[in-house]
Structure 1
Amino acid sequence: MDNAFIQSMITQEINGYRIGGNFTPQAYKNIVAELSTNLQMNFTKAHLKNRLKTLKHRFCFSARYDMFQGKSLSGFSWNPETQLIEVEDEVWQQLIDSKPTATALKTKKITNYHEMLELFANDRASGAQDETAKERNARL
């Protein structure tokens, strides 16, 4: 289901139904219709929005992007076969020592990483003034 959902979101984005990082109501209608037909299940817009939040959270997309893409840590690479971000153990240990939350990222698989990157990377802050919500809350 997740694979079909992600592919459907990409199709809607390509077709211009995602504006300013948000899917339009028509995009959700199209996704509901496509998934309901292809998977023989009943879906609603609310169900898809909740699933989207779950995908981002469960696969730690934001944390992975912030840590590996946004901050450009060298030596780390995505392995599509294992579906993990990999690097030498000593480099992982250094990262884990500095950011204990990275422990979960070492062993938690993420399917469709490149597709999720395509969908969500532009939603992430970048540049000298970027910060995650957690960092902003700590600062405030």
Structure 2
Amino acid sequence: MSKRGNDGTTGKRESLVWTGRMDDAFIQAMLKEKDNGNKIDGTFTSDACTNMVNEPSKSLNIQFKKDHLKNRLKTLKEHFSQCYDLFRGVSLSGFSWNPNTKLVEAEDEVWEALIKEKLEAEKWRTKQIAHYDEMLELFAKDRASGVAAETAKKKKKGTA
């Protein structure tokens, strides 16, 4: 898609191809902001957003824009949610998370039964989830409700 500038020139829509290193830096920046209490009720504060643009930009020498990170956050959350909801974290009977292989694992017959019931599960049989533990920390509480749910600010203060 192209857009027309004020001077009449056309240019291609700006897009960014994400790498593993970029995800690493962004996720670490999000964790830092969450730990600093800058994620309230599942939403990062405006200061956190500014910091999350600046931190990875400096460490990777890439000029990120807020929209780049906003779009990537949406994608990361969506992928995490698909996996998390399917396996209910990893509390679905017969499944477990292996942090070494970065896979959700189960015996073949357990996988086959789930895939028969939910076709979308098949891709997770061999798809590595590079930052599952970190995304669990960042996003699982957003998916929780009730008494066990707490904000990062409450957790930091120890008042949850």
Judge same fold: TM > 0.5, yes or no. Answer: yes
Aligned match of 1:109: 128
Aligned match of 1:26: 47
**What CA deviation, in whole Å up to 9, does each residue of 1:44-101 have, x standing for no partner?**
11110001112233xx311211122358312211112221100000000000011111
Structure 2 stretches of 5 or more lacking a match?
1-21, 147-160
Aligned residues: 125
Q: Could you say which structure has the higher helix fraction?
A: 1
Structure 1 residue ranges (4+ consecutive) displaced by more than 6 angstroms after TM superposition: none
- 1:72 and 2:91 are equivalent in the alignment: yes
Work out the CA distance in 2 between the residues paired with 1:126 and 1:75.
25
Q: Is the 8 A contact 2:56 2:62 kept in 1?
A: yes
Q: Is the 8 A contact 2:38 2:48 kept in 1?
A: yes
What is the TM-score with the length of structure 1 in the denominator? 0.83
Work out the CA distance in 2 between the residues paired with 1:112 and 1:20.
22
Structure 1 stretches of 5 or more lacking a match?
128-140
Which one has the largest radius of gyration?
A: 2
One-letter code aligned to 1:9 = M
**Identity over aligned residues, as a percent?**
59
How far has the Cα of 1:126 moved from its partner? 5.6
